[in-house]
Amino acid sequence: MLSIIQAAGWPIWPLIACSVLALALVIERFVSLRASRVAPPKLLDEALTVSRTAVPIPDVVTQLEQNSALGEVLASGFRALNSNPACSEADLRAAMEGCGRAVAHRLERYLSALATIASAAPLLGLLGTVIGMIEIFGSQAPGSAAGSAVGTGNPAQLAQGISIALYNTAFGLIVAIPALIFWRYFRGRVDAYLLQLELASERFVRHLNTLRKIV
């Protein structure tokens, strides 16, 4: 591996940095986008159960808020009702929608960086290819008066230029393709979570509106 990096020349170092960053982002997103941290399957039913007749005490609301992203959205509805028991349904929706936007922004964190790496890696590989071509043409010695003689170039420089061109092109694609695949995967996962949060919030708002009339 070290010999490949040496043969590829300095243009490969930005690609190595991109690959390390992309790997770190993928691992971080896998950890952060687990279902248990975003939308536990039974959390909504549990929140509906504990608030069947009254709004839970602040300690319970705080525990719900710290549970997951869905818990944070549901807790915002409880807090809005606690702060103003006479609030309207529109006020409850506004409070939960504001929290939902903050949660959505957090779920989408680093996806743009991963997409940038997927787009930039082939261009960095192309840059290495161009530099390799420059090395190839620079290795050619002057020929006769009619033009340059291709066969009189420095073979070592010629081989180095070809190595830089091919290795950087290949490494750029090796970095870009997985980054693009993971970006699309995480993008679809986030969209599914956002839909789930929206449906749960809609159901919870109707429940809070009923609870508001009781209290």
pLDDT digits (tens, 9 = 90+) for 81-130: 888 888 888 989 999 999 999 999 999 999 999 999 999 999 998 888 88
Give residue 105's pLDDT. Answer: 95
Put simply, whether the predicted model's pTM sits higher than 0.85 gets the answer no
Q: What are phi and psi of 49, to 5 degrees?
A: -70, -45
Residue numbers of the domain that contains 17: 2-141+149-214
Please give the share of the chain, as a percent, with pLDDT higher than 70.
Answer: 84
Q: How many structural domains compose the chain?
A: 1
Q: Please determine, for residue 151, whether its predicted confidence score (pLDDT) is greater than 50.
A: no
Residue 197 amino acid letter: L
Longest Cα separation, the chain? 99
Task: Give the residue with greater pLDDT, 211 vs 77.
Answer: 77
Residue whose tokens read 């599914």: 192
Q: Please determine, for residue 150, whether its predicted confidence score (pLDDT) is greater than 50.
A: no
162 pLDDT band (50/70/90 cuts)?
confident
Q: What is the 3-state secondary structure (H, E, C) of the chain?
A: CHHHHHHHCCCHHHHHHHHHHHHHHHHHHHHHCCHHHHCCCCHHHHHHHHCCCCCCCHHHHHHHHHHCHHHHHHHHHHHHHHHCCCCCHHHHHHHHHHHHHHHHHHHCCCHHHHHHHHHHHHHHHHHHHHHHHHHHHHCCCCCCCCCCCHHHCCHHHHHHHHHHHHHHHHHHHHHHHHHHHHHHHHHHHHHHHHHHHHHHHHHHHHHHHHHHHHC
Give residue 108's pLDDT. Answer: 95
pLDDT in tens, 43-74: 999 999 988 888 888 899 999 999 999 999 99
Residue whose tokens read 């990096």: 5
146 pLDDT band (50/70/90 cuts)?
very low
Please give the share of the chain, as a percent, with pLDDT higher than 90.
Answer: 56
186 pLDDT band (50/70/90 cuts)?
very high
Q: Please determine, for residue 214, whether its predicted confidence score (pLDDT) is greater than 70.
A: no
Cα separation, 15 vs 11, in Å, equals 8
Residue 43 amino acid letter: L
Rounded CA Rg of the chain: 28
